Amino acid sequence: MNDSSLMLRQIHPSFIKQGQITSQAFRPAHEMGKQGAKNRSIKNQL
């Protein structure tokens, strides 16, 4: 890899709005998993 290397990313079609890629496509997916685990632990306490 060097400065002229082209990097490609596959994204879900829902991350495209009005023909532009949204910033959501560049956020780590594991953050959603952490939030889900947090919500499950709160739900279990109720």
> pLDDT tens for residues 1-44?
899 999 888 889 999 999 999 998 888 876 555 555 555 555 55
| Residue 1 maps to a domain | no
Taking each continuous run of H as one helix and of E as one strand, the counts in the chain are 1, 2
Give how many domains the chain has, as a whole number: 1
Instruction: Choose among 31, 7, 27: nearest CA to 15.
Output: 27
Q: The domain containing residue 32 runs over which residues?
A: 16-45
Predicted local confidence at residue 43, as pLDDT: 52
| Residue 29 maps to a domain | yes
pLDDT(45) > 80: no
Predicted local confidence at residue 38, as pLDDT: 55
Radius of gyration of the chain measured on its C-alpha atoms: 17
